[in-house]
């Protein structure tokens, strides 16, 4: 039996059958310095609430998966982030068995959210196929392929090989839907030149697709909702391309690979863009949280003003 600890807010939402949106914790513990990371975490949760849904920031605390964090725990995660391991889906069992603290990546958050019955998850960008080495593929993709959750993101992180990432999503059978775009977003920029076969224009359109995909057809894999960064927050394409090339060259020269690669690249980009990449990341993450909340509301139909539990929240695992 998976022992999930629900925050009081999430527990109440489950009883009241209100929609919940999952949020990852790696961006808090390892993505930004304190107190900026705490401000972003609080901003994302507030964005979900303002749109009418309930936020559930997910982490592992003392070996126990937490679905939604109390204010004190959220601050501890932000202040003492280095004491929280960075855990992907395959690391969860070890973190739980050894009683460790862990910040959850996209893959780990997706797994725990799905086990809690949450169907919508907002993040900045997913992992994918790294440039130059086709064998270096993020576990985010394989986890999404087998986990029934909709991830709203600004595509995959721009430091990755976006064409091969999109091809891998197709190979794995992950339904990818552009939200108000027919082009796969490039994280920091609106466009990538990669066309998408499917797109939707409203949260209701997205929700109808999810109902058909999961409820009617019985698919058990995830869905990627590709939501572009707001145009006013988009970075200059030439600037970010040069910065990424320099960051990748720096990683090669320092022999940085594996889990350490992405944090190194993001830190290099922040410096090269004068903090522009961090501001863009914050803007797109907030936009994704808003769209995810709108989707969660649309996905759960209302009956006499009360939200039903028909599909958003499954019975608590036992």
Residues classed as catalytic = 24, 157
How many whole angstroms from its chain centre is CA 226? 11
Q: How far apart are CA 227 and CA 177, in angstroms?
A: 9
Nearest to 293 by CA among 106, 65, 118: 118
- List, in sequence order, every residue forming a beta bridge with 87; answer none if it has no partner: 104
- List, in sequence order, every residue forming a beta bridge with 226; answer none if it has no partner: 153, 178
Q: How far apart are CA 222 and CA 113, in angstroms?
A: 12
Nearest to 108 by CA among 86, 84, 124: 86
E-state strands within the chain? 5-6, 20-23, 54-61, 64-67, 85-87, 102-104, 120-122, 150-153, 175-179, 199-200, 223-226, 302-303, 306-307
Residue 286 preceded by cis peptide, ω within 30: no
Residue 197: CB atoms within 10 A of its CB come to 10
Evaluate whether 182 touches 161 at the Cβ level (below 8 Å).
no
- List, in sequence order, every residue forming a beta bridge with 6; answer none if it has no partner: 67
């Amino acid at each position: 039996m998976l022992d999930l600890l629900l925050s009081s807010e999430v527990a109440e939402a489950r009883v009241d059958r209100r929609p919940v949106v999952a949020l990852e914790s790696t961006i808090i513990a390892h993505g930004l310095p304190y107190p900026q990371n705490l401000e972003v975490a609080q901003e994302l949760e507030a964005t979900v609430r303002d749109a009418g849904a309930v936020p559930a920031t997910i982490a592992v605390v003392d070996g126990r998966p937490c679905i939604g964090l109390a204010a004190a725990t959220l601050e501890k995660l932000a202040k003492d982030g280095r004491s929280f391991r960075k855990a992907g889906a395959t690391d969860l069992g070890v973190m739980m068995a050894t009683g460790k603290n862990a910040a959850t990546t996209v893959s780990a958050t997706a797994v725990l959210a799905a086990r809690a019955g949450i169907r919508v998850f907002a993040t900045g960008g997913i992992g994918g196929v790294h440039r130059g080495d086709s064998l270096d593929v993020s576990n985010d993709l394989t986890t999404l392929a087998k986990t029934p959750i909709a991830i709203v993101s600004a595509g995959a992180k721009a430091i990755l090989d976006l064409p091969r990432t999109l091809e891998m999503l197709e190979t794995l059978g992950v339904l990818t839907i552009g939200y108000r775009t027919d082009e796969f977003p490039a994280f920091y920029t609106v466009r990538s030149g990669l066309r998408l076969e499917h797109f939707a224009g409203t949260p209701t359109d997205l929700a109808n697709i999810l109902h058909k995909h999961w409820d009617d057809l019985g698919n058990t894999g995830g869905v990627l909702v590709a939501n572009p960064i707001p145009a006013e927050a988009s970075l200059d394409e030439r600037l970010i391309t040069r910065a990424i090339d320099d960051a990748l060259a720096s990683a090669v020269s320092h022999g940085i690979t594996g889990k350490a690669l992405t944090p190194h690249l993001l830190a290099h980009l922040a410096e090269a863009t004068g903090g522009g990449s961090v501001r863009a990341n914050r803007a797109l993450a907030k936009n994704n949280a808003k769209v995810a909340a709108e989707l969660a509301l649309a996905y759960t139909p209302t009956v006499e003003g009360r939200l039903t539990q028909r599909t958003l929240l499954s019975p608590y695992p036992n």
